[in-house]
Structure 1
Amino acid sequence: MATLPLSAAMERGGEREREGERERDPAARPRVGVIGGGLSGLCCAERLVRSGISVTVFEKAEVLGGRMRSDQVDGFTLDRGAHAIFRHYPEFSSTFDMDQFSWGHFGQSAGFFDGFRIVDVGNPMGNLKLVRTLFSTGVTLIDYIKIFLRYKIMFRVLGPYAPLHASRKDMPVKELFEKKLGLSQGFVRNFFTPSFQPIFLCPPEEMSSQAVDFIMTALTCGGTALPAGGVQAVVDQLARRLPDEVIRLGTSVEQISKNSIRLHGESDETLFDAVVVAADWGAAAKLVGKDAVGSPQFSRSSTTWYFRFEGKPPGSSTPHTIVPVGESMVDGVIINLAFVNSIQPAYAPMGWSLCQVTTVGLAKSTDELSLKRRLEYFFGPTVHHWDMMSQHYEWEQHQPSHLPRFDRDTPKDCKENSWMQPARLSNGVYCCGDYRAHPGFDGAIKSGKAAAAAVCEDLGIHVASASLVKPPRAYLFWLWHVMVVFLALMTTLVVVM
């Protein structure tokens, strides 16, 4: 029977003794302050609490959520920005109890508006009626097979974060599609660009191939959805896992150091063993300095507007989501609109419709009359009877940019995800947020968990598991992939013959 060396045994015994002391006396537990009650900050706090650490979350707003907030107005659910939950993002699906949400699904298709008509375009594997409309956009059968093999099989077998690995060369996605993969210009111009421009807020020349590969892989694993209660429901599930005394709303932090936080309007400092800055980039830069958090580039600004009207959306078969084809990214242009109550019925009262419209730029770049004139191209004069809700949400920094990263210095401990930056800024000060990782929900969650792990490591505490959901059995995973590969090969043989 193998035995531990004396020094290792003493160290392990001391660790058990310290853990027992923390359980008996909560005051003996290390204290960590987390600044920011958005998705990343709450993920960090939740993992720290499960690791046995005393945590306080400081949120300057009166509601948790950050960019993932939803307002309830006259029975309507208004998300603060256009959102779609990628249910198969690896971190999202392993962090949240998916069965607790009541999901409304976007479906397998979207409406493409070419200036004259709305064409329903989508995945023909989900609906055979979409075969004709998909290929009418200029997408070829060879395009479809290449996309299927790359995202449905290759990256799923390699792993969800394989597209972001440091060993993979990054490039503009247009170069990847047209030169490396040999996809048609029709696919890039008429299908990919209108589908992904609303997500990235930039043309294909400015999109990172790594980021696109990651999102496309998640999309082919499963679609997008909205939970009842809005995207706020995601944040609320995290908040319910935390003790009530952890959250301090309406509390603004003015200054921090490695072991203290001073609140706005107070002279005394609150002592902590570590401080995690989980605020947005602007607030984080003020607290710890731009040199510490870096100067990430952000995509263009955007504004989300809401219109309500009685009855169903115009037209008998209007798609849930509509994107214009061929629009340039200039202020005031509509880049995406959705009848969100058709996706998630809980977003509007019975008998009403809610149209969510997203435009490029801040609110000052357009007005109600200009918006309705643009919407008239889509639906005709009926839009002038729609009631524009007073709430609109503008984001000067829509999200961190997805620009290709050609010359980046990837830390040794971040090779598996080259977009990740170390959470540790200095002794006792840490930072997290999607601008510290790959942009989006998944990056925010992963960065928050990484910050919690770094804090526990420095405090000498065993960190709780990053995943709360049991993964599927391995043999079922590989059996499914073998079946998919077999079907793909058979399809290819039929096409070739």
Structure 2
Amino acid sequence: MGRTDGGRYDVVVVGAGAAGLACADDLSAAGLRVLLLEADTTVGGRMRTDRVAGFTVDRGFQVFNTSYPQVKRRIERKELRLRPFTPGVLVRTEDDLLRFTDPSRRPRESRDLLPGRLASGRDLVALGALSARDALAPASLLRRGRDGTTLTALADAGVSPELVETFLRPFLSGVFLEDELETSARFFHLVWRSMLRGTLCLPAEGIGAVPAQLASRLPPDVLRTGTPVSAVTGDGAVLADGGEVPARAVVVATGQRVAAELLPGLRVPDGRTVTTLYHATTRPPLTEPVLVVDSRRRFLNTCVLTAVQPRFSTDGRALVSTSVLGSPGPAETEAVLRALGDAYGADPGGWELVHRVTVPDALPAMPGPTPLSRTTRFAPGRYVCGDHRATGSLQGALASGARAAREVLTDLRATQRGRVRWIEPAVGA
């Protein structure tokens, strides 16, 4: 094996998703010599955008949340030309299409929150109290709260099983990509807080514009795409072509499955798989930029993407995005199309399936109780970061990358001062 250049890097970061980009950015800003290696030809990990059949199509339904602290720190939002979703969601019930919205934002559109329509008066009081606490409390307080599952958290807040089944389970299943509401209660409170305090949007060029912006801020020669890594050794990283990149430290910032392959002994969570179906139609079934969920749970959520971002279409056709758990077969896909006709009150007979994306490990499983952040230290000089080491969100990925950079800097500086610093390896953690 030959070395790829004549020098040794301070840090090699493997994987140019959100976590790897954040880590490389912080390490470079600290003055270290960093090399960021990405196996694919473009950055982003799961945050990618393609051009398909005249449409801008993300690899799975994704939204941009403006309230995340790491987003506020790292992203120039004006450059993304964001367009917002309508606050709240539409809920297709057995009998009607009802609106669940934040009355503080859209008071004139809150008629479906009158007792007896979407929820009882008691449920509205309970959910209002929960929402006020989550919106106003410091995030640090929510992170320290008693953990369990989302389902138990809702019950503890006094929310009835009826409202859970009518609205919360259908809606949150699309957020967490699981329909048992087993996700960590503390993570649920943080997610609920972010939705109450922020705005869900779509960038004009798709979600891939977010990692592209992060990559554009890196110093020259830090990022190298089309360079897969086959192994991590005590001396650095071994490339798939047999070359070796020597480094004092290596940070593995890939998805959990690849991380476990590169760092044998690393315990990773299960992943949630989701499939998104993209249908083109000449007439949009809904002109409002709003998310629709189904109380019968025939799909996770659906929306007319071109109502949010008209730039997603080049020929004036509408693009409908619909997500379902797992990977549905042909019969299930046809059943979803029929359910969409019912949900929108439209005839989907002329809709064309222009794209389908199945994303394994779209989110890490976070059954409660679970830690919201883990050390990135794995072994001396070896680190691992990503949303699977924190929370299943862009915020979690960026925060984990930032934590990896801090821990690498701490350890390298301690070594330079002649004091070897090491904290119990995270093998099995």
Q: Same fold (TM over 0.5)?
A: yes
Where does residue 373 of structure 2 map in the other structure?
A: 420
Report how far residue 353 of structure 1 moved.
0.8
Where does residue 195 of structure 2 map in the other structure?
A: 219
**Matched position secondary structure for 1:273:** strand
Where does residue 314 of structure 1 map in the other structure?
A: 285
> Does the CA contact (< 8 Å) of 1:368 and 1:388 recur in 2?
no
**Matched position secondary structure for 2:67:** coil
Give, in whole Å, the separation in 2 of the partners of 1:217 and 1:88.
9
**Matched position secondary structure for 2:361:** coil
Q: In structure 1, which of residues 389, 394, 398 is the aligned counterpart of residue 358 of structure 2?
A: 394
Where do residues 296-307 of structure 1 align in structure 2 (5 Å cutoff)? 296-299=269-272, 301-307=273-279
Where does residue 421 of structure 2 map in the other structure?
A: none
Where does residue 408 of structure 2 map in the other structure?
A: 455
Question: Which structure has the greater CA radius of gyration?
Answer: 1
Asked whether 1:173 is paired with 2:153, we answer: no
Give, in whole Å, the separation in 1 of the partners of 2:7 and 2:233.
21
**Matched position secondary structure for 1:129:** helix
> Does the CA contact (< 8 Å) of 1:137 and 1:186 recur in 2?
no
Where does residue 423 of structure 2 map in the other structure?
A: none
> Does the CA contact (< 8 Å) of 1:258 and 1:275 recur in 2?
no
Report how far residue 72 of structure 1 moved.
1.9
Residue deviations 1:288-336 (CA, integer Å, cap 9, x gap)? 11x2x3131333x21111111223x225x66632111032xxxxx4211
Query: Relative to structure 1, is the Cα distance of residues 319 and 65 closer, same or farther in structure 2, using a 3 angstrom cutoff?
Result: closer
Query: Relative to structure 1, is the Cα distance of residues 112 and 456 closer, same or farther in structure 2, using a 3 angstrom cutoff?
Result: same
Query: Relative to structure 1, is the Cα distance of residues 363 and 138 closer, same or farther in structure 2, using a 3 angstrom cutoff?
Result: closer
> Does the CA contact (< 8 Å) of 1:111 and 1:318 recur in 2?
no
**Matched position secondary structure for 2:365:** coil
Asked whether 1:278 is paired with 2:248, we answer: no
Further displaced range: 354-363 or 39-48? 354-363
Where do residues 116-265 of structure 1 align in structure 2 (5 Å cutoff)? 116-135=95-114, 136-152=116-132, 154-165=133-144, 168-178=145-155, 180-265=156-241
**What amino acid maps onto 1:110 in structure 2?**
V
Residue deviations 1:30-52 (CA, integer Å, cap 9, x gap)? 52111111111101011111111
**Matched position secondary structure for 2:107:** coil
Query: Relative to structure 1, is the Cα distance of residues 375 and 145 closer, same or farther in structure 2, using a 3 angstrom cutoff?
Result: closer
Asked whether 1:351 is paired with 2:331, we answer: no
Give, in whole Å, the separation in 2 of the partners of 1:404 and 1:128.
34
**What amino acid maps onto 2:73 in structure 1?**
S
Residue deviations 1:195-226 (CA, integer Å, cap 9, x gap)? 21111122354132111100011111122111
**Matched position secondary structure for 1:342:** helix
Report how far residue 157 of structure 1 moved.
4.8
Where does residue 294 of structure 2 map in the other structure?
A: 324
Give, in whole Å, the separation in 2 of the partners of 1:421 and 1:172.
19
Query: Relative to structure 1, is the Cα distance of residues 29 and 162 closer, same or farther in structure 2, using a 3 angstrom cutoff?
Result: farther
**What amino acid maps onto 1:457 in structure 2?**
T
Report how far residue 272 of structure 1 moved.
0.8
Query: Relative to structure 1, is the Cα distance of residues 147 and 233 closer, same or farther in structure 2, using a 3 angstrom cutoff?
Result: same
Give, in whole Å, the separation in 2 of the partners of 1:201 and 1:82.
12
Report how far residue 160 of structure 1 moved.
2.1
Q: In structure 2, which of residues 62, 65, 73 is the aligned counterpart of residue 83 of structure 1?
A: 62
Q: In structure 1, which of residues 28, 38, 49 is the aligned counterpart of residue 28 of structure 2?
A: 49
> Does the CA contact (< 8 Å) of 2:127 and 2:157 recur in 1?
no
> Does the CA contact (< 8 Å) of 1:172 and 1:204 recur in 2?
no
Where does residue 392 of structure 2 map in the other structure?
A: 439
CA-based RMSD: 2.4
Give, in whole Å, the separation in 2 of the partners of 1:205 and 1:119.
22
Report how far residue 99 of structure 1 moved.
2.5
> Does the CA contact (< 8 Å) of 1:137 and 1:187 recur in 2?
no
**What amino acid maps onto 1:200 in structure 2?**
F
Give, in whole Å, the separation in 1 of the partners of 2:373 and 2:322.
32
> Does the CA contact (< 8 Å) of 1:424 and 1:454 recur in 2?
yes
Q: In structure 1, which of residues 398, 403, 423 is the aligned counterpart of residue 367 of structure 2?
A: 403
**Matched position secondary structure for 1:245:** coil
Structure in which a larger fraction of residues adopt helix: 1
**Matched position secondary structure for 1:161:** helix
Query: Relative to structure 1, is the Cα distance of residues 194 and 458 closer, same or farther in structure 2, using a 3 angstrom cutoff?
Result: same
Give, in whole Å, the separation in 1 of the partners of 2:363 and 2:300.
16
Report the number of matched residues: 409
Where do residues 329-344 of structure 1 align in structure 2 (5 Å cutoff)? 333-344=298-309
> Does the CA contact (< 8 Å) of 2:275 and 2:327 recur in 1?
yes
Query: Relative to structure 1, is the Cα distance of residues 186 and 124 closer, same or farther in structure 2, using a 3 angstrom cutoff?
Result: farther
Further displaced range: 418-427 or 355-364? 355-364
Give, in whole Å, the separation in 2 of the partners of 1:42 and 1:360.
29
Report how far residue 83 of structure 1 moved.
1.0
Query: Relative to structure 1, is the Cα distance of residues 30 and 62 closer, same or farther in structure 2, using a 3 angstrom cutoff?
Result: closer
**Matched position secondary structure for 2:374:** coil
Where does residue 15 of structure 1 map in the other structure?
A: none
Identity of matched residues, %: 26
Give, in whole Å, the separation in 1 of the partners of 2:138 and 2:78.
24
Report how far residue 98 of structure 1 moved.
2.1
